[in-house]
Amino acid sequence: MHVTPGPVPGSPDVLASPWIVGTRHSRAGIADYAAVWGAMDCTSYPAMALRDGILCLLGTMSAQVERQPRVGERLVVHGWTREVHGRRYETSVAITDAAGAQVARAESTWVAVKRQRLAWALGRVL
């Protein structure tokens, strides 16, 4: 799907990614719900954890899709960390269109893995 979030300059708690809806994840010119959820899943990863090389697993995600985007539509997916409670990260994510209208939104809970055996690899990728 080519949704690869990265940090937003000047906003360390925000990740963003452009997304152009492709034909592979659509039917009749409209994005599948699974594709919309997938775009939000990637970008809901806690920016703070990514920055610090902390490996997290998705615990829960609840979403609301206002409308399904069209193939070829240019969108932006924004994710931000709302709260951190120990190893638990609460995040939000929104997909907006070129006019700035919300297409979909979600709230997620991510949990940091206790034993960070792979954290060094994440640190090298960042």
Give CA 47 to chain center in angstroms: 10
According to DSSP, the residues that pair with 75 across neighbouring strands are 19
**pLDDT single digits (tens) 23-74:** 998 999 999 999 999 999 989 999 989 888 889 999 999 999 999 999 999 9
Interatomic CA distance for residues 73 and 103, integer angstroms? 11
CATH superfamily placement of domain 6-125 = Hotdog Thioesterase (3.10.129.10)
pLDDT of residue 1 exceeding 80, the answer is no
Q: Find tokens 């409209």 and name the residue.
A: 30
pLDDT at residue 126, as a whole number: 47
- Listed by start position, the domains of the chain span 6-125
Average pLDDT, the chain: 89
Instruction: Enter the pTM of the model.
Output: 0.85
Q: State whether residue 38 is helix, strand or coil.
A: helix
According to DSSP, the residues that pair with 111 across neighbouring strands are 57, 88
* Average pLDDT of the segment spanning 106-122: 77
